[in-house]
């Protein structure tokens, strides 16, 4: 088979693959994600963790702020600084260690 025929068959196969629906690990929603504005300490726990209220802001609706009450922050996150977040995960840094947390903590 000549090279041009092989190339056409390969491209045709790739075109079919690109038309297939793709699956991914995350789902997308039409809503805008909330931004974390900050937290308010409510209680220190004996194990070093804390109970905090978390304040969120919706950038698509400047009048809307949401407070999620009584979230427990583990000791590892209490002593860390949040350096980023994406798709419901928070990234925290402390003394050379990175910690990832689900949105349950941020």
For residue 46, the model assigns a pLDDT of 96
CA dihedral of 51, 99, 65, 55, whole degrees rounded to 10: 30
Residue range 51-93, pLDDT digits in tens: 999 888 888 888 888 898 999 989 988 889 888 877 778 888 9
* More confident of the two residues 94 and 22: 94
Residue range 5-59, pLDDT digits in tens: 555 655 565 565 555 555 555 554 555 677 788 889 999 999 999 999 988 888 8
Each as own residue / partner, the long-range contacts of residues 62-69 (CB below 8 Å, 24 or more positions apart, any chain) are 65/37, 66/34
Contacts with 17 (C-beta within 8 Å, 6 or more apart), sequence order: none
Domain spans of the chain?
35-102
């Amino acid at each position: 088979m000549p090279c041009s025929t092989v190339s056409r068959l390969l491209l045709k196969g790739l075109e079919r693959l690109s038309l297939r629906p793709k699956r991914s690990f995350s789902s997308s929603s039409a809503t805008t994600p909330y931004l974390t504005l900050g937290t308010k300490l409510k209680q220190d726990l004996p194990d070093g963790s804390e109970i905090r209220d978390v304040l969120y802001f919706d950038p698509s609706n400047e009048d809307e702020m949401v407070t999620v009450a009584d979230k427990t922050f583990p000791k590892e996150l209490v002593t860390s600084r949040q350096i980023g977040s994406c798709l419901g995960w928070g990234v925290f840094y402390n003394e050379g260690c990175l910690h990832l947390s689900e949105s349950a903590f941020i």
